[in-house]
Chain A
Amino acid sequence: MEFEDFVRARGPALLRYGLVLTGNADDAADLVQEALLKLSSSWRRVRNKDDPEGYVRTIMARQHVSWWRRRRKEQLTDEVPAPVREDEHDLKDVWQRLRALPSKQRAVLVLRYYEDLADDEIAAILGISQATVRSQASRALATLRVRAQALIGRWG
């Protein structure tokens, strides 16, 4: 498969992943494009492997975490149309809270609940320990006020 064909075929899925990672359509496109640029420079090597898309998704998750602090000021002031309607109260609430989470916490939630990955896989992708994955997820869920488990279950 040529690189351009890969982009056309998998672009929409990567944009969906980018949107939940970044919380913003513009940043999602930016993130996907940056990750694809990295992929393009090593396409010949990567395309023969099993999973070039996994490679891009890993780049996106890591890039998102490292970008966010630097870019937060811009995000705060940007007015990008939200993918949630005004009358969708519950969804809007979740969306607002997700957008406001620190990048690492949001990445952990997206990898766990959107990508459906186990904590050890998330740890490998983000280059952090499993304990950190758990603590970041727990803090993020607390902010979102998702009742993951009761107090007893969260320890460890």
Chain B
Amino acid sequence: MKTEEELAKALRTIAERAQDVDLLPGMAAKRRHRRQRRVRVLLASVCVAVLGWGALVVWPTRPRPTVGTTTPDKTIEQIWPQAVLTVPGRYRPLAAISATQVLVLAEPGTIEVYDVTTRRSRVVATLLQAPQSVAVDVERVAWLAEGYVWVAPVRGSGQARRVGPVKGEAVDRIALAGDHVAWSSPLGGVWRMSIDGGVPEMVAKSKGLQLAAWPWAIDEPLDIRTNPTRVVNLETGRTAAITAARGVEGLRCGPTWCLGARGDDSVVQRIDGSQVRVRRLLHGYPSAYPYQDRFFTGAAMVVYDAHADVLVPFHTANGERWSVGQGVIFWPQNGGVRVVNLAAVPPAQ
């Protein structure tokens, strides 16, 4: 599925299959149930009034798992001061390159490298089409646009080369792999091609896998509540099995760490199911694999550092509006863009 029109059509198709239910009897039953519940609540409050602790005895709550609360009171600026910066409002961060460089998209259509120390940016490439997925290392930038890969040197000056076309349906992840560029689609496996062009080839043993960070790929299921089963190193062929801790669903993993959900809790674990940590504040299902096999982001304003086992909260200027790129989290602030560059976070102690 590629377009909003197709989504709208799918919703209409599904809605038309709703079965007719006589709603009135169900409503009557709910009314009766509510009257009975009001009586029980009234009884419970009488117990509390008379016994002081009666309600606990009558309706004990289910015990909760032990939950870690390693959220510091400090702000992200205090915990990782070297990782937080503000860039001019015309930039949209795309990816972390290094501790001092961030790849940004600038209006009206250039990819630039922003240097944190000099506070200046340099144009890497002028875009002809909007990029859909971006990969960067210290040497090159590659991005997908309209079925082709574009490659430009990070130290370049505006010239990008188009290679491809890419193979696969709905390609949505791209990675740089030495002299190759690799990409994957949810069902199409992992492909690669020389950055000079040539014939795309499917990477051996990559059927059913999606790219995480090169050389790692994972059999990430389409259903976000289903667990993957293996992480594969596409360079060596080494496969590591993923074992979900009991009751954990929707795991998304790097080569070492995974994040998933158990009921309302977010759960961090190693891929073999060990070192299970409940970290409720992450909220929701992870959207993808962890950056540097270390940093997870969830649906809340918090970053989890698996190496240090610490949750670092961030606060946006206007509520929930923030975005995430590869190794970058950012939001508009005072006319500029506040950026967390995770590549600048020092190694955990």
Interface size bracket, B side: 35 or more
Binds B, one of A43-51, A59-67, A69-77: A69-77
Contact B8–A11 (Cβ < 8 Å): no
Q: Which of B81-101 contact A (CB under 8 A)?
A: 92, 94
Give the interface SS of chain B, mostly helix, strand, loop or mixed.
loop
Contact A20–B223 (Cβ < 8 Å): no
Number of A-B contacts (CB under 8 A): 161
Contact indicator per residue, chain B 309-345, by CB within 8 Å of chain A (1) or not (0): 0000000001111110000000000000000000000
Shortest distance between the CB of B284 and any CB in chain A (Å): 5
Shortest distance between the CB of B324 and any CB in chain A (Å): 9
Contact indicator per residue, chain A 114-132, by CB within 8 Å of chain B (1) or not (0): 1010000000000001011
Interface residue B250 (Cβ < 8 Å from any Cβ of A)? yes
Interface residue B64 (Cβ < 8 Å from any Cβ of A)? no
Shortest distance between the CB of A138 and any CB in chain B (Å): 8
Give the interface SS of chain A, mostly helix, strand, loop or mixed.
helix
A72 and B265 CA atoms in complex are apart in Å by 11
Interface residue B137 (Cβ < 8 Å from any Cβ of A)? no
Known: A76-B225, A100-B250, A114-B12. A144 touches B7 (CB 8 A): yes
Interface residue B219 (Cβ < 8 Å from any Cβ of A)? no
19 contacts between A and B (CB under 8 A): A15-B23, A19-B15, A33-B23, A33-B30, A36-B23, A37-B30, A91-B14, A93-B1, A94-B10, A95-B14, A113-B4, A114-B15, A132-B320, A139-B287, A142-B287, A146-B1, A149-B130, A150-B129, A151-B92
The 9 nearest A-B residue pairs measured at CB: A150-B130, A83-B17, A16-B15, A19-B18, A113-B8, A114-B11, A131-B321, A16-B18, A100-B224
